Amino acid sequence: MRAGQTPVPKAFLMILEWVRTTARGKMATDIALPIPPAPPSNS
């Protein structure tokens, strides 16, 4: 995105993996997958 442009929100799926340590859990990985827009309906 360039300066002066209006940001466009986009949906994504966030996958998190937590690992239990001795005291508490820690986030091991996070993966963000973009969700494609729905195709136009032919009604």
pLDDT number for residue 33: 92
**CB neighbour list of residue 37: distance below 8 Å, 6 or more residues apart:** none
pLDDT tens readout for residues 4-43: 889 888 889 999 888 888 888 888 888 999 998 878 887 6
Classify the C-alpha dihedral 41-9-33-26 as positive or negative: negative
In angstroms, the CA 23 to CA 17 distance is: 17
